[in-house]
């Protein structure tokens, strides 16, 4: 457990000032954010929200996968979500190389063959974002009231640039 002692200590500190006991699982602001797992991204702060305001869905490259769609079905029907922001970012590894490059990098660094995985890299981040927006908008299990916006987050300036 010593590799996680910093985590447990940080949690003890967190508990000492915890004030979110009244929050529910509902997205108070009706928003779901699909974004990248990159640790430079603080999705709630970027859009001026706080814990309980939005649902956060993260994966490599902020791609709309089957799992994201499954989660959005739950969020839109049961958890108060009626808006979805798809928010990839600048300087993303998934937009800076192709599938072969990612597989080769992992193989070189770790000796692991990942060719059975599709990392959904893209050389056209703007185009991929537009496709992901259409994927959500046309998904038949989401209700008509769900609105979708795509925006690219600039990790150097903090600016969100809407693309649709």
Contact 153, 88 (CB under 8 A): yes
Predicted TM-score of the model (pTM): 0.94
Q: What is the rounded CA–CA span in Å between residue 128 and residue 85?
A: 14
User: Binning pLDDT at 50, 70 and 90, where does residue 5 land?
Assistant: very high
Q: What is the rounded CA–CA span in Å between residue 93 and residue 75?
A: 28
Per cent of the chain over pLDDT 70 is 99
User: Binning pLDDT at 50, 70 and 90, where does residue 143 land?
Assistant: confident
- Checking if the pLDDT of 144 tops 90, the result is no
**CATH code at 25-162:** 3.40.1050.10
- Mean pLDDT over 32-41 rounds to 98
Between β-strands 83-87 and 31-36, what pairing exists: parallel, antiparallel or unpaired?
parallel
pLDDT of residue 2: 85
pLDDT one-digit tens code per residue, 68-108: 999 999 999 999 999 999 999 999 999 999 999 999 999 99
Q: What is the rounded CA–CA span in Å between residue 25 and residue 48?
A: 19
- Checking if the pLDDT of 125 tops 80, the result is yes
- Mean pLDDT over 150-164 rounds to 96
pLDDT of residue 112: 97
Tokens describing residue 130: 């537009």
């Amino acid at each position: 457990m010593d590799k996680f002692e910093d985590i447990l200590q940080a949690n003890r500190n967190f508990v000492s000032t915890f004030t979110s006991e009244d929050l529910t699982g509902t997205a108070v602001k009706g928003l779901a954010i699909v974004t990248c797992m990159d640790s430079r991204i603080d999705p709630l702060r970027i859009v001026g929200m706080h814990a309980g305001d939005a649902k956060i869905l993260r994966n490599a490259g902020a791609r709309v996968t089957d799992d994201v769609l499954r989660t959005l079905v739950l969020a839109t029907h049961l958890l108060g979500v009626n808006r979805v922001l798809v928010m990839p970012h600048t300087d993303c590894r998934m937009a800076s190389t192709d599938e072969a490059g990612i597989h080769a990098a992992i193989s070189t660094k770790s000796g692991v063959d990942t060719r059975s995985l599709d990392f959904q890299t893209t050389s056209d981040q703007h185009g991929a974002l537009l496709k992901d927006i259409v994927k959500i908008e046309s998904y038949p299990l989401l209700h008509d009231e769900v609105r979708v916006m795509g925006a690219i987050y600039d990790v150097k300036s903090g600016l969100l640039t809407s693309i649709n």
